[in-house]
Structure 1
Amino acid sequence: MEYLPFKLLLPILTFVSVALVASQAADDVSPDAYWKSVLPNAPMPKVVKDILHNEWIEGKSTSVGEGKASYSTSLSWNQEATETEVHDTRKVGVFFFEKDLKRGTKKKLYFTKTTNAETTFLPRQVADKIPFSSEKMAEILDQFSVKPYSKEAEVMKKTVKLCEKPRMKGEEKYCATSLESMVDFSISKLGKSIQPISTEVEKKTNKLQEYRVLGVKKLGGEKSVQCHKLNYAYAVFYCHKLTATKAYVVSLVGVDGTKANAVVACHADTSAWNPKSLALQVLKVKPGTVPICHFFPEDNVVWVQNLISPGKRISVPVI
């Protein structure tokens, strides 16, 4: 996965403003209201609140962010890792064997959000009117005032192409361009009794450090929907359901005292993974030989079947 600088000023387009006003006049349901109507007992994760309530929906300009942009390491199972990635200590620590998912285990981790953290969800009635395909790339770039041969354009093109790739064996996938579409996809795969969770870190650290596992809690059964935030001009999530995948939430404490509740996925079936994917190279195993787990970054959302009391957040025992 190539790192690319990503710097965009997201203008408020006239057609978007008109569409938003028109939708409000027609009493269309807002993303917030839609969530409450469809998932009345599911607390909204902080990452969703942050993305949903960014300034753009208020009708103001928003910077997409700048610096280095990359796809989540959680999506690396289908890509050949570069030599640089294999030796990137900030990335390799997220992968481990399921047998090591236990109290007392120590891992060097670097929790971070994607650099375009300020992007926001568009209301579905707006997002559905914006093209999202390689065939319409020139039109998309023009709408967001992105130069065709810029680094920003390359990042956006890669995101669209990733969404257009054929699904992997055992995978059901969908790229959600709105909060409503992410909710609908998750419900279609898991039913209405679901709850979203995301990794939450007590404070911003911006450094690689050792964390110790304090507690582990398994979530749901063998089914979950994992949604990975992609780099784009607005919030887009790559959501997929993989066979034989368990979800956990893990309580951690860093050497500096920072506490975190981190979401983990463990994949029992890796037979379709790229043999040179980051996880398999780091752990030095072949596809389909052993269950592999990974931590999720803060801006990913994992949906699980709700096995706890309605309206209560998932918690982990801390010792």
Structure 2
Amino acid sequence: MLSFRHFFPLTFTNETNANEYLYILYMKFQVSVVTTHAALPPALYWKSKLPTTPIPKSITNLLRLSVKPNAFWSPTAPPFTCFQVIYCCREFKLQDNPNTVLFFLEKDLKTNHKMNLLFTYTSNQASFLPREVVRSIPFSSRQMAEILNKFAVKPKSAKAEVMKNTIKHCEESGIKGEEKYCATSLESMVDFITLKLGKDVEALSTEVMKDTKQQEYTIMQGVKKVGDAKVVVCHKLKYVYALFNCHKIENTVAYTVSLKGADGSRVKAVSVCHRDTSRWNPQHLAFQVLKVKPGGVPICHFLYQSTIAWVPKQN
């Protein structure tokens, strides 16, 4: 295994250099792979473990490491949201436009049903780093000062607050009936999925054919249930490199849904429906929007483009 000193020989004084340093780390890993065969690159690791599972576009986009520093950490990226990880919140506020659908009932997943939706990326486009690199970088609330120093992030800055919240979220335990895991690399995500679902799996994500605006969408024919209540959902969190919160939740099913916008645009969407909400926070936004109570009817939501739903392959 590569040691810490292979990757941290220098100290940086600004965030741009820190972002460039991530690229240096990656290139050093690539050299190591060529010269020592220390480990497989992330994409090849996927193919070795999941040979019959295509890599979705939302993942391949994060494997295209860019030499542009801002590709790692975008200060203009949308913030971590409660909707992105639906159990994280303590207080809730309706969004600016209350007519946009956040949550809906499972019975509404039917042909010709209309919804006002907005599909957008909810996380920065930070790239994956190889697991051998990530293992050499601290990831703990107890080491926050060291982490911020490594990436030249000011302790009281907005970026520091996002990083702290992300690590804190990863350290919190899930609710009863939820198996939760923060995957700090593509390899660790693949290992978690194969442990929970095996190797015969599909990786599904919402695909938007072009940039869209908030508009009315119609559900087209072909709504399909997938997974048979065996679903692992991985949400991308905001961090300096790609990081996913993966959780397996009891009594959860997934659907693939074809949508057509009022402007003619098409969306291949993935929806997750939670059939047991009895352990959710009674003040959860979904209950406010749908005016239902915990443990009542199944509650659904569409997944963002940066989120992956893992399900067993259909026979």
TM exceeding 0.5: yes
Bigger Cα displacement from structure 2, 145-154 vs 71-80? 71-80
Counterpart residue number, 1:253 = 260
Bigger Cα displacement from structure 2, 183-192 vs 275-284? 275-284
**Alignment partner of 1:237: what SS?**
strand
Q: Which runs of 5+ in 1 are unaligned?
A: 1-7, 309-319
Normalized per residue, which structure has more strand?
1
Bigger Cα displacement from structure 2, 242-251 vs 277-286? 277-286
Native 8 Å contact 1:253 1:259 kept in 2: yes
Whole-angstrom distance in 2 between the partners of 1:97 and 1:295? 11
Counterpart residue number, 1:34 = 45
Counterpart residue number, 1:113 = 121
Native 8 Å contact 1:54 1:120 kept in 2: yes
Counterpart residue number, 2:215 = 209
Counterpart residue number, 1:275 = 282
Counterpart residue number, 1:317 = none
Counterpart residue number, 1:11 = 20
Whole-angstrom distance in 2 between the partners of 1:92 and 1:287? 22
Match of 2:230 among 213, 220, 223: 223
Shift of 1:82: 2.8
1:21 aligns with 2:31: yes
Shift of 1:94: 2.6
Native 8 Å contact 1:80 1:278 kept in 2: no
Whole-angstrom distance in 2 between the partners of 1:277 and 1:248? 22
Counterpart residue number, 1:141 = 148
Match of 2:92 among 76, 79, 82: 82
Shift of 1:221: 1.0
Whole-angstrom distance in 2 between the partners of 1:219 and 1:258? 24
Whole-angstrom distance in 2 between the partners of 1:222 and 1:245? 5
Shift of 1:185: 0.5
- What code does the residue aligned with 2:216 have? E
Shift of 1:23: 4.2
1:48 aligns with 2:54: no
**Cα-to-partner distance string for 1:109-164 (whole Å, 9 max, x where unaligned):** 111112512x1000111111111111111111111111110000000110111111
**Alignment partner of 1:228: what SS?**
strand
- What code does the residue aligned with 1:79 have? C
Bigger Cα displacement from structure 2, 283-292 vs 152-161? 283-292
CA change 1:72–1:29 in 2 (3 A) is farther
Counterpart residue number, 1:237 = 244
Native 8 Å contact 1:72 1:230 kept in 2: no
**Alignment partner of 1:269: what SS?**
coil
**Cα-to-partner distance string for 1:30-85 (whole Å, 9 max, x where unaligned):** 111111111111111001000111315xxx634322323123614123413433xx
CA change 1:87–1:15 in 2 (3 A) is closer
Whole-angstrom distance in 2 between the partners of 1:46 and 1:52? 10
**Alignment partner of 1:77: what SS?**
coil
Native 8 Å contact 1:93 1:107 kept in 2: yes
Native 8 Å contact 1:90 1:109 kept in 2: no
Q: Percent of counterpart pairs with the same letter?
A: 48
CA change 1:91–1:174 in 2 (3 A) is farther
CA change 1:276–1:249 in 2 (3 A) is same
TM-score (norm 1): 0.87
**Cα-to-partner distance string for 1:164-206 (whole Å, 9 max, x where unaligned):** 111110000100011111111011111111010100001012x
1:282-301 equivalences in 2 (<5 Å): 282-301=289-308
- CA-based RMSD: 1.9
Report how many residues are paired.
294
Q: Which runs of 5+ in 2 are unaligned?
A: 1-14
**Cα-to-partner distance string for 1:203-230 (whole Å, 9 max, x where unaligned):** 012x211100003111121111000000
Shift of 1:15: 5.8
**Alignment partner of 1:132: what SS?**
coil
Native 8 Å contact 2:231 2:311 kept in 1: yes
Match of 1:98 among 83, 106, 117: 106
Whole-angstrom distance in 1 between the partners of 2:143 and 2:85? 24
Shift of 1:19: 4.7
